[in-house]
Amino acid sequence: MKVQLLVTKTDFSVPNIEREFRHLGIGYQVEYIEDHPDLVSRHNIRHSPNILIDGELAFRYHPTETELKDYFYDHKTRH
């Protein structure tokens, strides 16, 4: 599973999301909106943060740790 945190370089929520990912044991990559206009266009990105999972937009906002846990738990049980 490829998890990308797609954010602006000035997004102050990044450390919090990274802490939640680490706490849940979720591997991820940080990608900057400014460096990926193709992703911005493809997913109609208008703000930060965004979370892509396997190339699909899963969150357009900063989810709570509970939302992340629910999403990843549900995803694992379906596959």
User: Does the pLDDT of residue 74 top 80, yes or no?
Assistant: no
The model's pTM: 0.89
- d(C-alpha 25, C-alpha 9), whole Å: 24
Name the pLDDT band for 77 (thresholds 50, 70, 90).
low
3-78 has CATH 3.40.30.10 classification? yes
Write down the domain spans for the chain: 3-78
Q: How far apart are CA 55 and CA 38, in angstroms?
A: 12
Q: Write out the DSSP string of 7-76.
A: E-TT-TTHHHHHHHHHHHT---EEEEGGG-HHHHHHHT--SS-EEEETTEEEESS---HHHHHHHHHHHH
pLDDT at res. 73: 83
**pLDDT per position as a tens digit, 21-61:** 999 999 999 999 999 999 999 999 999 999 999 999 999 99
